[in-house]
Amino acid sequence: MYTQEHGFYVAHGPKGPISICGKMANRHGLIAGATGTGKTVSLQVLAESFSQAGVPCFMADMKGDLSGISQAGKMTDFIQKRCTEFGIQDPQFAGCPVTFWDVFGEQGHPMCTTLSEMGPEIHAYLCGRTCKRDFKDLRYGSTGQLGNRIQHALRAFTPKDQKGMKAAAETFRENPEFNTADAISELATGEALVSFLDESGTPSIVERARILFPLSQIGAIVPVQRQQIMMSSAVAGKYDQIVDRESAFEVLLAQSEQESAAQAQAEATAQQEKEAAKQAKQATSTAVRSLTRGILGNLLK
């Protein structure tokens, strides 16, 4: 939720609103946690806040879970409870402007890219930098270098998981009011450990907080809604017809193949001419020998 008073308001802690610093929002960040702990909603709250401030976001939404950001949310008992707890009055539910893109051209407007351009870490990027991941996919030795972090609950049932959870806790700036490692395993759905960069670029002390509710719809939209959005899009019809233009690589490859074929043909022609000359020489030699023998034969008679 973006407000004049709190800026990019993302979560609410014991001391009140927790906001991400706007000028530090494009630094590397991470949303992590076990399955079903609230990572997608956290990402939606961030993207929605940026959109409200006029900052465009790109999110790779493989399953369509974030498509609800295009629709207005509605009041529920849970959100009403959160409003009371956070001191929020009369939240203005609204969707965000959305354009759907799809490399296959099925669930959005076609887009042209390559696997190498997409890269291996395109699970869910926000503004090119912030990503949500399951903690088992991470090497927590490097996560301390990530500036903006939302850490949801982790479930540690094996020694390896416990080691990973401890490593995750140790990458936060310690808060003397609670044990970070214990808190990670105790977090409820929608709760998280939050640490954002301040205006000087220094990570804040970790806070145990509840993520703000989005003002847009939580959950995927239906196909009819998606089609309506695509039809009313500013790029509707502009990119829908797939045109497979010849790339520079393809042009150069074809040119190289033509040159190789021409060279091979020239070599073959030269070889044929060489063989023809050889055969002509042999024929001439044979004729000369025959003629010489004939002449000598006549002289000796």
For 98-155, the pLDDT digits (tens) are: 999 988 888 998 877 665 665 555 534 433 445 555 555 555 555 556 789 999 999 8
pLDDT for 158 equals 87
pLDDT for 238 equals 82
Confidence of residue 75 (pLDDT cuts 50, 70, 90): very high
pLDDT for 205 equals 95
Q: How far apart are CA 228 and CA 250, in angstroms?
A: 37
pLDDT for 126 equals 37
Confidence of residue 157 (pLDDT cuts 50, 70, 90): confident
Greater confidence (170 vs 134) lies with 170
Supply the Cα-derived Rg of the chain in whole angstroms: 34
> Checking DSSP bridges between strand 148-151 and strand 29-32, what pairing results, if any?
parallel
pLDDT for 114 equals 63
pTM to 2 decimal places: 0.73
Q: How far apart are CA 71 and CA 94, in angstroms?
A: 7
Q: How far apart are CA 254 and CA 259, in angstroms?
A: 9
Confidence of residue 22 (pLDDT cuts 50, 70, 90): very high
User: 76: burial class by Cβ within 10 Å (0-12, 13-18, 19+)?
Assistant: exposed
pLDDT tens, residue by residue, 245-296: 778 888 899 999 999 999 999 998 988 888 888 888 887 877 777 777 777 6
pLDDT tens, residue by residue, 180-230: 999 999 999 999 999 999 999 999 999 999 999 999 999 999 999 999 999
Q: How far apart are CA 236 and CA 221, in angstroms?
A: 19
Q: How far apart are CA 46 and CA 1, in angstroms?
A: 8
DSSP string, 57-94: -----SSSGGGGGGSB----HHHHHHHHHHT--S----
